[in-house]
């Protein structure tokens, strides 16, 4: 299992070093960078963790880096740090997905609490993505007819109704339904419905 990393991006060397020392003393894995460009060269989106990011930096600001990551589909939780914070800036950052916005100087315990929460958020997001991917892979292994039967089952249609719509016998629907449950590794119909909702693979309610 890969340990999460706190990615620290701040152009102030002394501040960055002191913050890295604080985090390492608390047991965090830390990688620090003097700007967005250095971070982007190093960062692997498969690696879990969070980003502690200074808002005002030369060349590429923290908010611009946030926008760039979002455009690339990267949802790494971000904690913004600033010595020049204002309400509109913080609102923009939070609306764009930042988990916190702290003004320097800040309480160390507040930062540590925020980092732990961000790492937990990242872990939940990655688990959800992995679960969704697994469900989609199973769904893609179904035959066309099995998918049609599954679509009927998850919206609550009886076997007889599904059979009539597909112009097959109810017994054939039962066979396909059993195969769907097996291939999807679903222990119950509610479980199958939950999978369909989580991965958005059937037109439930449509």
For the chain, the structural domain boundaries read 5-127, 141-199
118-146 per-position pLDDT tens digit:
999 999 999 999 999 999 999 999 999 99
Across all residues in the chain, what is the average pLDDT?
Answer: 89
pTM over 0.75: yes
Span 53-78, pLDDT tens digits: 988 888 888 888 988 998 888 889 99
Q: HEC states along the chain?
A: CCCCEEEEECCCHHHHHHHHHHHHHCCCEEEEECCHHHHHHHCCCCCCEEEEEECCCCCCCHHHHHHHHHHCCCCCCEEEEECCCCHHHHHHHHHCCCCEEEECCCCHHHHHHHHHHHHHHHHHHHHHHHHHHHHHHHHHCCCHHHHHHHHHHHCCCCHHHHHHHHCCCHHHHHHHHHHHHHHCCCCCHHHHHHHHHHHCCCCCCC
| CATH code matching the domain that covers 141-199, chosen among 1.10.10.10, 2.40.30.10, 1.10.1740.10, 1.10.150.120 | 1.10.10.10
> Could you report the per-residue pLDDT of 153-204, keeping only the tens digit for each?
999 899 999 999 999 999 999 999 999 999 999 999 999 999 999 888 876 5
Q: Does domain 5-127 match CATH 3.40.50.620?
A: no
């Amino acid at each position: 299992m890969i340990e999460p990393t706190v990615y620290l991006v701040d152009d102030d060397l002394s501040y960055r070093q002191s913050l890295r020392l604080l985090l390492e003393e608390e047991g965090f894995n830390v990688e620090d960078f003097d700007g967005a460009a250095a971070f982007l060269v190093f960062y692997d989106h498969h690696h879990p963790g969070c980003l502690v990011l200074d808002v005002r930096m030369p060349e590429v600001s923290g908010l611009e880096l946030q926008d760039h990551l979002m455009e690339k589909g990267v949802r790494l939780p971000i904690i913004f740090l600033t010595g020049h914070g204002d309400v509109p800036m913080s609102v923009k950052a939070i609306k764009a997905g930042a988990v916190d916005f702290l003004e320097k100087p800040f309480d160390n315990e507040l930062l540590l609490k925020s980092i732990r929460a961000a790492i937990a958020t990242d872990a939940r997001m990655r688990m959800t993505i992995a679960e969704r991917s697994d469900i989609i892979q199973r769904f893609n292994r179904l035959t066309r007819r099995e998918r049609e039967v599954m679509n009927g089952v998850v919206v609550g249609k009886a076997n007889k109704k599904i059979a009539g719509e597909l112009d097959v016998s109810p017994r054939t629907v039962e066979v396909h339904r059993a195969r769907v449950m097996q291939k999807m590794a679903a222990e119950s119909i509610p479980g199958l419905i939950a999978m369909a909702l989580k991965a958005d693979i059937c037109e439930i309610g449509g």
